[in-house]
Chains A and B, each alone.
Chain A
Amino acid sequence: MIEVRKLTKRFGMKTVLRSLDFHVEPGEFVALLGPNGAGKTTFLRILASLSRPSMGEVKIASYRLPSQAAAVRRRLGVVSHLPLLYGDLTAEENLIFFGRMYTVANLNRRVSEVLELVGLSARRHDLVRTFSRGMQQRLAIGRAVLHDPEVILFDEPHTGLDQDASLMLDNVLRQVAAMGRTIVMTSHDLARSADLASRFDVLSRGAIAASVRRNEINPNDLLAFYRRAIQEN
């Protein structure tokens, strides 16, 4: 579903990603772990077609980036730590707007389905700026899945959420994963990732330092695995 070969990204003289290789099968839920500055957000922005690679090959659902970016974007949903929503529009208006941008069929029905999925049906007519951070993040997931994409990218979605809001977000994430969508999620939170993902990749100094599937590791050993990968790279 996602194929990345020898991906390099430079900002001026600074190299953020170094000949990175990454491969994700359809339906996998990959947690991309790594310290601050490892290049996780830059990598996700390239996958989301928001940033151009300096070198290397990126393919999503067999479409190449950046040359076939529109086809990739049609198959992609993105949730970042910012909600990417308009505070002065209601929850419903936000979804209708993004639905129009994605040419979603039967839009009103689909908006109702998505609001139901993220548990915000009762607040559909409320302005997004009146929502708590957790509610905004759930609506952001609704925006990302509105057009039913094959691949969903989550960039540290739990940032700034309290414990209850994080648990609610986890439930929504599990529901999205259960739909068989391919998910890549960057995170600092190893315990939360261990609970959600089917594979764990460690990104360190701009390259994948280690990768392990959930059935190959005891969740209690994930921290040791992570530390070893960072130290060895």
Chain B
Amino acid sequence: MPEDASLAHTAPGNPSFGFLRAVGAIVWKDLAAELRSRELISAMLVFALLVILIFNFALELDAKARASVTAGVLWVTFAFAGTLGLNRSMAMEKDRGCLDGLLLAPVDRSAIYFGKAIGNLIFMFIVEIIVLPVYSVLYNTNLFQPGLLLVIVLGSVGYTVVGTLLASMAVQTRTRDVLLPILLFPVAIPVFIAAVKASSGFLQGIELAEILPWLNLLITYDVIFTAVAFMVFDYVVEE
């Protein structure tokens, strides 16, 4: 039974289910909107492909040198393309006041954060899935190694988790396009260092024991920043 007449159209339910439902609704909304406009993924993809193409011409490398720079080039590409996507994703919420529309919903605000973060992560994965084979062909390097793919997943999660939080902060300012990378890159340095070291380790066939500390750092970073974002998002978006 609804509590009162005003809630006649509101279904009663489990709060945890409501949280997951809100997260799912936001992810669905982001994917549906992107499927129509293709603004975000196409911008990220074109940018990422241009970056690896430019590096390919700029660095005329032999096989050994190629193996040592691949991890760096790959993560620079993901970082730049990711920043573009994060900025666009939050700008879409701000343009027509949609962020206020989301904040007015009677759900825990961390559900809004997780919905946006999962959507951004999906976009990042789509770009990575396309960039990896192109990179493999251009640089004649096999990137389809389970260890490397694990690093890419962990690194992308860390980057997106902190990036979504900072993008929601930056989007409230007039200089949001400039501000996001300035805020994000210093905070994401541990992710880049760990991801580059671990990726390089897998590409050069270094023993797992030597790579493990970097993987642990990535996992720790992901867990800590997910918890931090969960706790502070409410304060970040409120006036």
Contacts and interface: CB of A to CB of B under 8 A. Distances in A.
Interface residues of B, number: 36
Nearest to B38: A88
Nearest to B105: A101
Nearest to B34: A88
Contacts of B28: 97, 100
Contacts of B37: 88
A46 to B, nearest CB: 9
B39 to A, nearest CB: 8
B207 interface: no
Given A75-B6, A104-B10, A84 B101 contact: yes
A6 to B, nearest CB: 19
Contact of A147 (B10, B32, B239): B10
A98 interface: yes
A105 B36 CA distance: 27
A78 interface: yes
A223 B37 CA distance: 47
A85 B8 contact: no
A89 interface: yes
Interface stretch (B18-26, B77-85, B137-145): B18-26
A55 interface: no
Contacts of B6: 61, 75, 148-150
Interface string B203-239: 0000000000000000000000000000000000011
B100 A147 contact: no
Contacts of A48: 100, 104
Interface string A92-127: 010001101111111000100000000000000001
A158 interface: no
Contact of A84 (B9, B18, B34, B96): B96
- Of A88, A102, A103, A149, chain B has the most CB atoms within 10 Å of the CB of A103
A89 to B, nearest CB: 6
A52 interface: yes
A88 B97 CA distance: 14
Nearest to A181: B6
B11 interface: yes
Contact of B101 (A93, A143, A150): A143
B13 interface: yes
B96 A73 contact: no
B36 A88 contact: yes
Contact of B10 (A49, A86, A105): A105
Interface string B145-179: 00000000000000000000000000000000000
- Of B13, B32, B102, chain A has the most CB atoms within 10 Å of the CB of B32
Measured as residues with beta carbon below 8 angstroms from the partner, the interface class of chain A is 35 or more
A18 B25 CA distance: 39
Nearest to A105: B11
Contacts of A89: 29, 32-33, 36
Given A45-B239, A52-B239, A103 B11 contact: yes
- Of B7, B103, B106, B108, chain A has the most CB atoms within 10 Å of the CB of B106
B96 A101 contact: no
A150 B9 CA distance: 12
B49 interface: no
5 contacts: A74-B10, A88-B33, A101-B106, A103-B13, A105-B10
Interface of A: 45, 48-52, 61, 70-71, 73-76, 78, 80, 82-89, 93, 97-98, 100-106, 110, 127, 143, 146-150
Closest 6 CB pairs of A and B: A82-B97, A84-B101, A105-B11, A150-B6, A101-B105, A100-B25
Interface of B: 4, 6-11, 13, 18, 21-22, 24-26, 28-29, 32-34, 36-37, 92, 96-98, 100-108, 238-239
Given A51-B238, A84-B97, A89-B36, 12 more contacts: A49-B103, A73-B106, A84-B100, A85-B101, A86-B29, A86-B92, A87-B96, A101-B105, A104-B10, A105-B10, A146-B9, A147-B10
